[in-house]
């Protein structure tokens, strides 16, 4: 199975995860409800860091929980163990093999903090370090660039949130994720056409805000990994505090601008970038009017809840990065200098 096959497998992976994890999630939630948790700490690297960013928004908005990203080097390089009193500590890793991520979780468990591992390998070092394991069950991911495990990580976080606070509307929305992922794959022909137009692309910025900031980060990473594009991701708010100076006529700006609370400000920024700076825009959105701002655009299925949109909005980005690599004559199955499992300490 190659990278494209793994991108196309995401609806099936999501459906399987929903079926297998509802009961274990309920049991985990019952355990967590018995503990006093004031905040969440997440240890992750690479793609999994972007799942952690999604968790910041989802657990923050639905549960009012501050979510901090761990700094594993404090422990692994400097030998200092943070205090995890009244924290839920989560490790997220596709392979579960990185010693620094597992080390954070193990240290928290030693202090008596509740710990959770979200991984595609329930026999990994990360899984062994945690009290509870959420097995993504995505099957072997042979491509170097993570795709199906990323959306599975996002879904696992959504299921954890649903278990912590029962809400029939949110449960129904989660049940619709596999179907929405299937509809998102329909963007492939347009992604392939755009990739041919952009075959000379070597630098760009990728913008998002709110929930879809995670998508902007992950799309930029896929462009770096697969197509060797110097793609810098920014929150649309942070972008206006300095990096906007990069934009000149013809400069490429990629944006994830789906409807929701963050939409209006981002859309206004895109209008200015197009009309005042003559930027070349590629816009991913579920809103036709927003897509019309771009020289190019990719659709996202409508009707997806804002809180679940990152599970779907990354799919056009994955397809774009894959086909851009192909358009450049590169092999997306074998990105240079990269291995499937990276062990940092």
Q: How does pLDDT run across 216-233, given as a tens digit for each residue?
A: 999 999 999 999 999 999
Of 45-49, 304-308, 311-315, 329-333, least confident by mean pLDDT is 329-333
- Cα dist. 94→131, 141, 341 in Å? 18, 9, 9
Percentage of the chain lying above the pLDDT 70 cut: 97
The whole model's pTM is what? 0.94
Structural contact between residues 147 and 7, judged by C-beta atoms closer than 8 angstroms: yes
What pLDDT is attached to residue 272?
A: 94
What pLDDT is attached to residue 97?
A: 85
Is residue 65 over pLDDT 60? yes
* CA 260 to chain CA mean position, Å: 18
Is residue 61 over pLDDT 80? yes
| Mean pLDDT in residue range 249-268 | 93
- Catalytic residue, from 148, 192, 222, 340: name it: 340
| Mean pLDDT in residue range 122-129 | 94
pLDDT digits over 278-306, tens only?
999 999 999 999 999 999 999 999 999 99
Mean pLDDT of the residues in the chain: 92
First to last CA, the chain: 30
What pLDDT is attached to residue 24?
A: 85
Is residue 339 over pLDDT 70? no
Please report the domains of the chain, with CATH numbers, ordered by start residue. 3-175 (3.40.50.10490), 183-327 (3.40.50.10490)
Say whether 340 is catalytic. yes
| Per-residue pLDDT band at 33 (split at 50, 70, 90) | confident
């Amino acid at each position: 199975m190659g990278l494209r096959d793994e991108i196309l497998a995401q609806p099936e992976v999501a459906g399987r995860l929903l079926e297998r994890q509802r009961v274990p999630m309920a049991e985990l939630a019952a355990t967590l409800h018995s503990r006093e948790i004031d905040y969440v700490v997440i240890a992750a690297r690479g793609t999994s860091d972007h799942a952690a960013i999604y968790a910041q928004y989802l657990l923050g908005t639905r549960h009012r929980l501050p979510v901090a990203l761990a700094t594993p080097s404090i422990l692994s390089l400097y030998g200092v163990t943070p205090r995890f009193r009244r924290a839920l500590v989560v490790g997220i890793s596709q392979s579960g093999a990185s010693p620094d991520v597992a080390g954070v979780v193990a240290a928290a468990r030693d202090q008596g903090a509740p710990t959770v591992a979200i991984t595609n390998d329930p026999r990994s070092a990360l899984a062994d370090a945690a009290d509870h394991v959420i097995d993504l069950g995505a099957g072997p991911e042979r491509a170097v660039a993570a795709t199906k495990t990323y959306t599975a990580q996002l879904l696992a976080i959504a299921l954890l949130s649903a278990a912590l606070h029962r809400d029939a509307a949110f449960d129904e929305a989660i049940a619709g994720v596999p179907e929405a992922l299937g509809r998102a794959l329909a963007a492939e022909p347009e992604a392939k056409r755009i990739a041919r137009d952009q075959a000379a692309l070597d630098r760009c910025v990728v913008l998002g805000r709110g929930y879809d900031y995670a998508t902007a980060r992950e799309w930029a990473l896929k462009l770096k990994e697969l197509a060797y594009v110097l793609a810098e991701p920014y929150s649309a708010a942070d972008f206006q505090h300095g990096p906007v100076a990069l934009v000149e006529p013809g400069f490429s700006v990629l944006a994830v601008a789906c409807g929701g609370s963050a939409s209006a400000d981002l859309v206004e920024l895109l209008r200015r970038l197009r009309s005042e700076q003559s930027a070349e825009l590629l816009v991913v959105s579920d809103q036709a009017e927003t897509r019309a701002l771009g020289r190019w655009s990719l659709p996202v299925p409508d009707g997806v809840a804002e809180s679940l949109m990152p599970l779907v909005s990354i799919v056009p980005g994955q397809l774009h990065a894959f086909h851009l690599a192909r358009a450049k004559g590169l092999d997306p199955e074998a990105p240079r200098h990269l291995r499937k499992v990276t062990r940092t300490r």
